[in-house]
Chain A
Amino acid sequence: MKGRFDGFGGQYIPETLMNAVKEVEEAYEYYKEEAEFKKEWNYLLKNYAGRPSLLYKAEKMTKDLGGAHIYLKREDLNHTGSHKINNVLGQVLLAKRMGKKRIIAETGAGQHGVATATAAALMNMECEIFMGKEDTKRQALNVFRMELLGAKVHPVKTGTMTLKDAVNETMREWTRRVEDTFYVIGSVMGPHPFPMIVRDFQKIISKEIKEQMIERCGSLPDTVIACVGGGSNAMGAFYEFIENKEVELIGCEAAGLGIDSKKNAATIANGREGVFHGMKSFFCQDGYGQIAPVYSISPGLDYPGIGPEHAMLYKRGRAKYVPVTDKEAVEAFEYLAKTEGIIPAIESAHALAYAMKIAPKMKKEKKIVVNLSGRGDKDVASIARYKGVEIYE
């Protein structure tokens, strides 16, 4: 069925938006095959975003953990500091081709907002970003960064004032001004065609990992690990390996203070099937379908749902999803900084933490790729706060 990943996905959105998503779908189907569009996107990826991103072998970490070899896919080295730029360059280019004048987007950590504001500046588009008020406090620097790039940032004061509320408000804004506005969704979520479009723009990550591993080691990795909020970096890192059944795919969810506590965002561990934000998937919710207020130290994983294609991979048993706590993530964050001289995004540190857990138990000839989806500069202040360190800027 169109727009479905087994039973997941769909288009559960207000009638007002139905022609708009249809228009996006038709434009995408056309442009993804158009030579000129592909050429321009690839040009930007190479010359603007800095692709291909490096695949770095973390020798010290490998030695220290004493098990499987660990490779880091360095999405943190992309322009704007995360994998988000891959998707955004594609979607803003598409919006431009569709004749849209204005871009809107939600953001959690601010990474997608910064990437969107960047692409909008580059391509001369008006840009407005919706960000939960709570997140504008946690990530104040990213707010200013977006403003420097010419975007207008709207703090969202409804609900839990985090990512899910930012998505609500961006959807509402889209229904207000649907004709000249394109909603650049930041993850593999929302109504069809967005989960497909975002995955297609992110799958370059796994395509490169595959090529780089074959060139470097002559074989595929045994395990690919990525963190999962909505799940765009994970989908990007998994996609080209789905058919290679021997490659284990692991998504790391934010377990916050623990999956048994009330403060977590572990959708697969604690959620159940539901319909929200335009899609059928798994959501953290109560027995009446009220979406749960979720929590994670990482604002990018602080989301009560997961993309529908992940829901499918989980149901099929093709990928597994594991919870990682704040504490484990912060330890991994500090570990990578001290061991390899790389400060990862706190989101990506969730994936690292799980790699650190399983690598020592794996045989030495095994190879793990961790998708280092973003850099951690944005998290330095909040990690200091977490550790009770006072810093003055």
Chain B
Amino acid sequence: MNKIENGFQNGKALITFVTGGDPDLETTERLIYKMQEGGADVIEIGIPFSDPIAEGSVIQKANERALKGGCTTDKLLEKIEKMKENVHVPLVFLTYFNSIYTYGVEKFMSKCVKSGIAGLIVPDLPYEEQGEILPICEQNGLCLISLIAPTSKERIQKIVKRAKGFLYCVSSLGVTGVRKEISTDVKSLGKIVKDLSSLPCAVGFGISTPKQGREMAEIFDGIIVGSSIVDRIEKYGKESEQPVYEYVKSMKEAIRNISH
């Protein structure tokens, strides 16, 4: 397993996202290699879910395509396990809690470890509910990534105390998706979080252009891009690896050489 912390050793980190099995698992495999080659430092893989309530329309459609293509949690886990030797960046799953719960929490975690997954992002498992899986994550050496929202306020303190891996700061209200501009005062959110925690702190939701990426990387230790990659997958389907590679490369270029 490639530890999540390793993803933050190469200057500002670029965290990229892909929905597993969109439009099929072979494309996902090629995309993961290409994103790695383009400079992704951590790769987030979404386990497709029928009702992803934290996602905007772009990633919702990716979930639908993946499910339609027959992707299941088992098939995705198998695929990733087979790719293990070729992947040197840390991989994390983005999954809704029901996928873990119905699979069986312990069985799910041990399969994650076997596939080389380093951490989990569970958008519908806030601090109060994490206790249900936290001990099992820890036994398996998996990081449960904590999210911090612009509305978290006094909750930030307790969230960072327990957090592992990196902190996922949500740049704006609402669901995932490309935004023309990020209107929330994300700068001050970044400052508050960084004052309270020594963990790397990445920001996501709404980041798509290299310019936005650069602005965000001046404040945060890493940036997370999802919808703008998935947009390209929607457009180019099985031929999306080159456009995705070029996009990832341009984003990594944009945040290279930003000092801490």
Binding site for B on A (CB under 8 A): 10-20, 158-159, 164-165, 168, 171-172, 175-179, 272-278, 280, 283, 285, 287-291
The interface-forming segment of B4-12, B45-53, B217-225 is: B45-53
- What distance in Å separates the Cβ of B186 from its nearest Cβ neighbour in chain A? 13
CB of B152 within 8 A of CB of A168, answer no
Question: Which residues of B lie under 8 Å from residue A18 when comparing CB positions?
Answer: 126-128, 149, 151-152, 155
Q: Are A288 and B73 in contact (CB under 8 A)?
A: yes
In the complex, whether B123 has a CB less than 8 A from a CB of chain A is yes
Q: Which residues of B are found within 8 Å of A159, using beta-carbon distances?
A: 50-51, 64
* A15 contacts B126, C-beta separation under 8 Å: yes
Question: Which stretch in B110-118, B167-175, B232-240 binds the other chain?
Answer: B167-175
- Chain A residues near B242 (CB-CB < 8 A): none
Of B97-105, B136-144, B190-198, the one touching chain A: B97-105
Known: A164-B51, A168-B53, A291-B50. A14 touches B149 (CB 8 A): yes
Q: Do B175 and A274 touch across chains, with their CB atoms under 8 A apart?
A: no
Which chain A residue has the least Cβ–Cβ distance from B152?
A: A15
In order of increasing CB-CB distance, the 4 nearest A-B pairs are: A289-B102, A176-B174, A16-B149, A289-B98
Could you list 12 examples of A-B contacts with CB < 8 Å? A14-B54, A18-B155, A159-B50, A168-B51, A172-B54, A175-B54, A176-B173, A176-B175, A272-B102, A274-B98, A280-B101, A289-B103
Contact yes or no, A291 B51, CB < 8 A: yes
Interface centre among A171, A179, A276, A277 (most CB of B within 10 A): A276
Neighbour of B129 across the interface among A11, A172, A178, CB < 8 A? A11
Not counting A18-B151, A19-B152, A176-B174, a sample of 5 additional A-B residue pairs whose C-beta atoms are within 8 angstroms of each other reads A11-B129, A159-B64, A165-B51, A172-B56, A179-B151
A-B contact count (CB 8 A): 113
Q: Does B147 contact A (CB under 8 A)?
A: yes
CA distance A10 to B159 in the complex (A): 18
Q: A171–B50 Cα gap in the complex (Å)?
A: 15
Contact check, B49 vs A289: say whether CB atoms are below 8 A apart.
Answer: yes
Tell me the B117-139 residues at the A interface (CB within 8 Å).
Answer: 123-129
* Residue B228 CB within 8 A of the other chain: no
Number of interface residues of B (CB under 8 A): 40
- Rounded to whole angstroms, the CA-CA distance of A274 and B127 in the bound complex is 19
Contacts of A177 in B (CB 8 A): 173
**Interface majority SS on A: helix, strand, loop or mixed?**
mixed
Taken together as a complex, chains A and B put the C-alpha atoms of A287 and B101 apart, in Å, by 11
B27 at interface (Cβ–Cβ under 8 A)?
A: no
Structural contact, A14 and B126, CB atoms closer than 8 A = yes
Report the bound CA distance from A160 to B36 in whole Å. 36
Contact assessment for B174 and A275 in the assembled complex, using a CB-CB cutoff below 8 Å: no
Shortest C-beta distance, A4 to chain B (Å), equals 11
Q: Are A19 and B153 in contact (CB under 8 A)?
A: yes
Annotate B81-104 by CB proximity to A: 1 below 8 A, 0 otherwise.
000000000000000111101110
**Contact A12 to B125, CB < 8 A, known contacts A276-B98, A288-B99:** yes
With an 8 A cutoff between CB atoms, is B67 at the interface? yes
> Which residues of the partner chain A approach B50 to less than 8 Å between Cβ atoms?
159, 290-291
Instruction: Assess the A285–B98 pair: CB atoms within 8 A.
Output: yes
Chain A CB within 8 A of B148 CB:
yes
When distances are taken between beta carbons in the complex, the residues of chain B under 8 Å from A280 are 101
A195 to B128, CA, bound (A): 17
- Identify the interface centre among A176, A275, A288: most chain B CB within 10 Å of its CB: A288
Q: Is the CB of A16 within 8 A of B103?
A: no
Q: Which residues of B contact A16 (CB under 8 A)?
A: 149-151, 170, 173-174
Q: Are B151 and A19 in contact (CB under 8 A)?
A: yes
Shortest CB-to-CB span from A286 to chain B, Å, is 8
Q: Is the CB of B51 within 8 A of A276?
A: yes
Instruction: Give the CA-CA distance A290 to B72 in the complex, in Å.
Output: 10
A13 touches B126 (CB 8 A): yes
Q: Which residues of B contact A158 (CB under 8 A)?
A: 57, 60
A20 contacts across to B, CB distance below 8 A = 151
Q: Which residues of A contact B147 (CB under 8 A)?
A: 14-15
Closest to B67 in A: A290
Q: Which of B20-47 contact A (CB under 8 A)?
A: none
**What's the Cα separation between A18 and B51 when bound, in Å?**
19
